[in-house]
Amino acid sequence: MARGAVEESIHRDIPLSAAMGTQVVVATPESVVLAAPLAPNVNHRATAFGGSVAALAMLAGWTLLDARLHETAIRAHTVVQAGDVRFLAPAKASLEAKAFAPEDEAWRRFLATLERWGRARLRLRVEVRSDGELVASLDAAYVSLTDGE
């Protein structure tokens, strides 16, 4: 995946990601890392707004799943279904949200379900760091639907 193309596509499709200053740092099938500067995402305490942290994390997970689907023959779109976010420390600098690839077995089951039923659900873990410190974690569930569903 070309990072520039992924970034352009995110900014075009989700204008809030551009307002947040989102940059694509890593975009491979193994992980996606999205970064965002503090200034457009700051809160009243001069730390990152929790809503920005959650949004960046959800977008990182979505980008990873979407990118992995693009490597298959399946044409599908993905939406976030649920998210469980924990804020562990205040983020005093720019944000980096890293989405981790699912286990191979979970991915195989997901693809098989999607091919058979036109719909499948996948849980992904995302960690958000600031200045190297873990500031938030997200466990999110995404649902993919084959196009035409």
Q: Token digits for 121? A: 């659900």
Q: Element (H or E) spanning 114, and its range?
A: helix 104-117
The piece of 14-22, 23-31, 67-75, 110-118 that touches a copy of itself (CB under 8 A) is: 14-22
Interface with a copy of itself includes 147 (CB under 8 A)?
Answer: no
What is the Cα–Cα distance from 46 to 50, expressed in whole angstroms? 12
Q: How far apart are CA 10 and CA 67, in angstroms?
A: 12
The stretch among 11-19, 25-33, 99-107, 110-118 that binds a copy of itself (CB under 8 A) is 11-19
Near a copy of itself by CB under 8 A: residue from 4, 5, 51, 75: 51
d(CA 102, CA 146) in angstroms, rounded, equals: 19
- Decide if residue 54 touches a copy of itself (CB under 8 A): yes
29 binds a copy of itself (CB under 8 A): no
Place of tokens 């298959």: 72
Positions that interact with a copy of itself (CB under 8 A): 13-17, 19-20, 39-45, 49-52, 54-56, 58-59, 62, 77, 79-87, 90
